[in-house]
Amino acid sequence: MNKYYFTSESVTEGHPDKLCDYISDTILDEALKQDKYSRVAIETFASANQITIAGQLTTNATLDIEKIVRDRIKEIGYDRADLDIDYRTCKVLLNISKQSPDIAIGVDKSLEDKLNENIKSEGAGDQGMMFGYATDETKDFMPMPIYLAHKLAKRLTEVRKKGIVKNLRPDGKVQVTVGYENEIPKRIDTIVISTQHEENTNLEELTDKELLQLYKHITEFIKELEDMQKKESE
């Protein structure tokens, strides 16, 4: 019998990496909403109450990038200076240029189009290799460890924003380790939930009700795993 453990990690929306991704994604979405031919290669950097937006952008869209940045930071919950970033006071630096002419040459027309082969198409501005797969381990077709980690990270954000668990801050992380037997998830071995919290908070201050909210959500996932395994065995 082949036994092994697999661990996956998920971060909440307040994690610096996720915050930066969210800002970049929103800029892209807004550009495409106004101009479907937009070319967006934008990166976001966050550090010490400062956000820097850099990259290349060619679009006919009218974007208020500073407003996008501040709105996303506010939405996530960074609204005080002691959280290291405050949407009201943080610096927003822009270093954006138009798409490089060298890249544009390759994108505007494909090689086939340039050679008059009657193929009207755009070229590629970059190359990449991607791979992936779907699995029947979960209803979302994702492997069990990352499925549970994502769900718990989402719930961690919910209990913070709804005030179910007090004194939490936006940044958090979840790790889930699942035990497999012959490629089938059989047990949840470890769940680690870490989160920012107010400076004077300690575990003893969590009420029984707040702890039960966390435990209840975890046990729901365990039951879901058991139900799936039971269905597979029938």
Distance, CA of 90 to CA of 73 (rounded, Å): 10
Q: What is the model's pLDDT at position 21?
A: 96
> In this structure, is the dihedral angle defined by the CA atoms of residues 101, 122, 128 and 136, taken in order, positive or negative?
positive
Residue type, 206: L
List b or e across 213-226, with b for residues whose CB sees 16 or more CB atoms inside 10 angstroms: bbeebbeebeebbe
- The two domains 3-12+133-233 and 16-109 share their CATH topology (first three levels equal): yes
Going residue by residue through the chain, which has 234 residues, state the pLDDT in tens, using 9 for 90 and above: 799 999 999 999 999 999 999 999 999 999 999 998 888 999 999 998 999 999 999 899 999 999 999 999 999 999 998 888 999 999 999 999 887 666 666 666 555 554 555 555 555 666 778 888 899 888 889 999 999 899 889 988 988 898 877 788 999 999 999 999 998 888 889 989 898 888 877 666 666 666 666 666 666 666 766 666 666 555
Fold classified for 16-109: GMP Synthetase; Chain A, domain 3 (3.30.300)
Distance, CA of 132 to CA of 149 (rounded, Å): 18
Give CA angle at 87 (83, 90), nearest 5°: 85
Q: What is the model's pLDDT at position 228?
A: 64
Q: Going by DSSP bridges, is the β-strand pair 184-197/168-181 parallel, antiparallel, or unpaired? A: antiparallel
For the whole model, what pTM was predicted?
0.78
Q: What DSSP element (H or E) covers 203? A: none
CATH of 3-12+133-233, one of 3.40.50.720, 3.30.300.10, 3.10.20.30, 3.40.630.10: 3.30.300.10
Q: What is the model's pLDDT at position 89?
A: 95
Per-domain boundaries in the chain? 3-12+133-233, 16-109
